[in-house]
Amino acid sequence: MTTLELIKAGIVLLWAAWLSMVTLLNVTDALKERGRLPATWSLASGNFAYMVEVTRIHNTPKAACWVMFVGVIIWEAIASLLLWWALFVGTLEATNVAFLVSLALWGAFMLADEYFITYAVESEGASSVATTHRDLFVAFLVSLVALHLL
d(CA 20, CA 11): 14
Please report which confidence band the pLDDT of residue 129 belongs to, taking 50, 70 and 90 as the band edges: confident
Residue 23 has pLDDT above 90, yes or no: yes
- Domain locations along the chain: 3-149
119, pLDDT greater than 80: no
Query: Mean pLDDT, to the nearest integer, of 50-67?
Result: 95
Whether this prediction's pTM lies above 0.75 is answered by yes
